[in-house]
Amino acid sequence: MTGLKTKASDRSAPLITKFVLITIKLQVNGITLRNHIETQLRSYGEPLRWAITSVDQTTAQVEAVVTVGGSKQP
């Protein structure tokens, strides 16, 4: 790719992705639900993308891809 510049420090640790499947209790408010899902996913890594794939009366199943490892830039 032209124009893409990375520092050597950006490549110091590999960035690993993980597939995560969690079941959560449904919340009343949509924003609260989103925050709850993202908080739960952060215990596995930094959420890259996620989707609610199944819902019943009290729970939702969430499939996600999270990133683990690597170094965060300030």
- Over residues 34-53, the pLDDT tens digits come to 999 999 999 999 999 999 99
CATH topology of domain 15-69: Dna Ligase; domain 1 (3.30.1490)
Torsion angle, CA of 52/34/44/74, rounded to 10 degrees? 130
* CA–CA separation, 45 and 69 (whole Å): 8
For residue 47, the cross-strand partners are 66
The pLDDT-based confidence of 6 (bands split at 50, 70, 90) is low
Q: What is the pLDDT of residue 30?
A: 79
Torsion angle, CA of 22/27/31/33, rounded to 10 degrees? 0
More confident residue, 19 or 1: 19
Q: Are 22 and 40 in contact (CB under 8 A)?
A: yes
